[in-house]
C-alpha cells in the first residue's frame, strides 16, 4: 500500500477529531459556565487542547506527504512524529493548569454542587467520542498510521474522562460536593499522563528507538526465508509511521548474482506481506564456511 495514500486517508481521521472536539469543547465549556461545574470545565479545556493536538497531527500528516527533495532525500515523514511532540507540550501546559485550579476547590467547604445538566452533557459527549474512537481506530489499522492510532487512543481516553465527569457531577448531587473538584483533579492527571505517553513515544522514535521484541520478529521472518543462512546484523527505525530496516544476511557463497538477488526479493515480499514494511536495505555477504573439526 502506498504510504502517501495512507497519509492522505489519515487526514480524514484528523478532521473528524477536530470537528468532534470543537463541538464537545464549546458545549462543555458553555454548560460548565452556566452550571458552575469545575469537572465539566476541566473536561472542556481538555477537549480544547485536543483540538490543537488534532490540528498539529493534521499539519504533520500534510507535511509528511511532501515528496523527497534536495534537503530531505528520505522524505518528510518525521513531521508526523514532530507534530505529536508539539501536541504533548500543549497538553502538558493545560494539564498543569487544570490540576492547580482543582486543588483549592477540593478543600473549599463552601463549594456547591453543579446542576445535573453538566453530568448529562458529559455523558452525551462521551458517547460521541466513543464513536469517533471506533472510526479512527479502524482507519489507523487500515493505514498503519502511528499519529492516527495515538489520536484514536486519545479519543478513547477522552470518552472515559467524560464518563468520570458524569460520575463526579452525579455524586455531587448527593451532598458529596468534593466529587466535582475531585473529578476535575483526576481529569488533569489524565491529561498529564496522556501528554507524557505521547512525549515519551515521540522522543523514542525521533532518537531512532525501536522495540526489541519487534526487531526479534523481523529477524525471525527473514531467517525463515529459504537461502538465508545467517543474519549478522539487523537494525530498524521509525520514519514517521514507516519503518526502515537495515539487515546483513549471509548466503551460500556459490550463488551467483541473480540467485542472491532472488533471495532479497523474497525478503522484501515477506516484509511487506507480514509486517507492512516497504523500505528494507539488504546487504549480502558470503556465508562463512565452518572450519573442519
Residue 293 is predicted with a pLDDT of 40
DSSP secondary structure of 44-110? HHHHHHHHHHHHHHHHHHHHHTSPP-SS-TT-STTHHHHHHHHHHHHHHHHHHHHHHHHHHHHT-TT
Q: What are the average pLDDT values for consecutive 10-residue runs of the chain, which has 293 residues? A: 62 86 93 86 84 81 80 81 80 79 69 77 93 88 73 81 82 73 79 85 89 91 92 90 90 91 93 88 82 42
> Which residues lie closer than 8 Å to 18 by C-beta, 6 or more apart?
51, 54, 55, 58
Homologous superfamily of 212-286 in CATH? Cation efflux protein, cytoplasmic domain (3.30.70.1350)
Residue 23 is predicted with a pLDDT of 94
Sheet with 242-251: list strands edge to edge. 230-239, 242-251, 279-286
The CA-to-CA distance between both ends of the chain, in Å, stands at 50
The pTM (predicted TM-score) of the whole model is 0.73
Domain ranges of the chain: 3-206, 212-286
CATH number for 3-206: choose from 2.60.120.10, 3.20.20.70, 2.130.10.10, 1.20.1510.10.
1.20.1510.10
On the question of a common fold for 3-206 and 212-286, the answer reads: no
- Rounded CA-CA distance 245/225 in Å is 16
Residue 2 is predicted with a pLDDT of 56
DSSP secondary structure of 110-163? TPPPPPTHHHHHHHHHHHHHHHHHHHHHHHHHHHT-HHHHHHHHHHHHHHHHHH
How many residues can be counted in the chain? 293
User: Which one-letter DSSP state was computed for residue 235?
Assistant: E
Residue 27 is predicted with a pLDDT of 94
Residue 123 is predicted with a pLDDT of 92
Residue 239 is predicted with a pLDDT of 84
Amino acid at each position: 500500500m502506498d504510504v502517501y495514500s495512507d497519509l492522505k486517508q489519515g487526514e480524514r481521521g484528523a478532521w473528524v477529531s477536530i470537528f468532534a472536539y470543537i463541538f464537545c469543547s464549546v458545549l462543555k465549556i458553555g454548560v460548565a459556565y452556566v452550571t458552575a461545574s469545575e469537572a465539566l470545565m476541566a473536561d472542556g479545556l481538555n477537549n480544547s487542547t485536543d483540538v490543537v493536538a488534532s490540528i498539529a497531527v493534521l499539519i504533520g500528516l500534510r507535511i509528511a506527504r511532501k515528496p523527497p527533495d534536495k534537503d530531505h532525500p528520505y522524505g518528510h515523514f518525521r513531521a508526523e512524529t514532530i507534530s505529536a511532540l508539539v501536541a504533548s507540550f500543549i497538553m502538558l501546559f493545560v494539564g498543569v493548569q487544570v490540576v492547580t485550579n482543582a486543588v483549592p476547590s477540593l478543600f473549599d467547604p463552601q463549594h456547591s454542587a453543579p446542576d445535573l445538566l453538566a453530568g448529562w452533557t458529559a455523558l452525551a459527549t462521551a458517547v460521541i467520542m466513543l464513536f469517533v474512537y471506533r472510526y479512527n481506530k479502524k482507519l489507523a489499522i487500515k493505514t498503519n498510521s502511528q499519529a492516527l492510532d495515538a489520536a484514536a487512543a486519545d479519543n478513547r481516553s477522552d470518552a472515559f474522562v467524560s464518563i468520570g465527569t458524569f460520575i463526579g457531577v452525579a455524586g455531587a448531587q448527593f451532598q458529596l460536593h468534593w466529587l466535582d473538584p475531585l473529578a476535575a483533579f483526576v481529569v488533569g492527571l489524565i491529561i498529564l499522563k496522556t501528554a507524557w505517553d505521547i512525549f515519551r513515544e515521540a522522543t523514542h522514535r525521533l532518537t531512532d528507538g525501536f522495540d526489541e521484541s519487534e526487531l526479534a520478529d523481523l529477524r525471525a521472518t527473514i531467517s525463515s526465508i529459504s537461502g538465508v543462512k545467517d543474519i549478522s546484523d539487523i537494525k530498524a527505525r521509525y520514519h514517521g509511521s514507516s519503518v526502515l530496516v537495515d539487515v546483513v544476511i549471509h548466503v551460500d557463497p556459490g550463488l551467483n548474482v541473480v540467485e542472491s538477488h532472488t533471495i532479497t526479493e523474497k525478503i522484501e515480499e515477506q516484509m511487506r506481506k507480514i509486517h507492512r514494511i516497504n523500505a528494507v536495505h539488504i546487504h549480502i555477504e558470503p556465508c562463512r564456511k565452518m572450519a573442519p573439526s
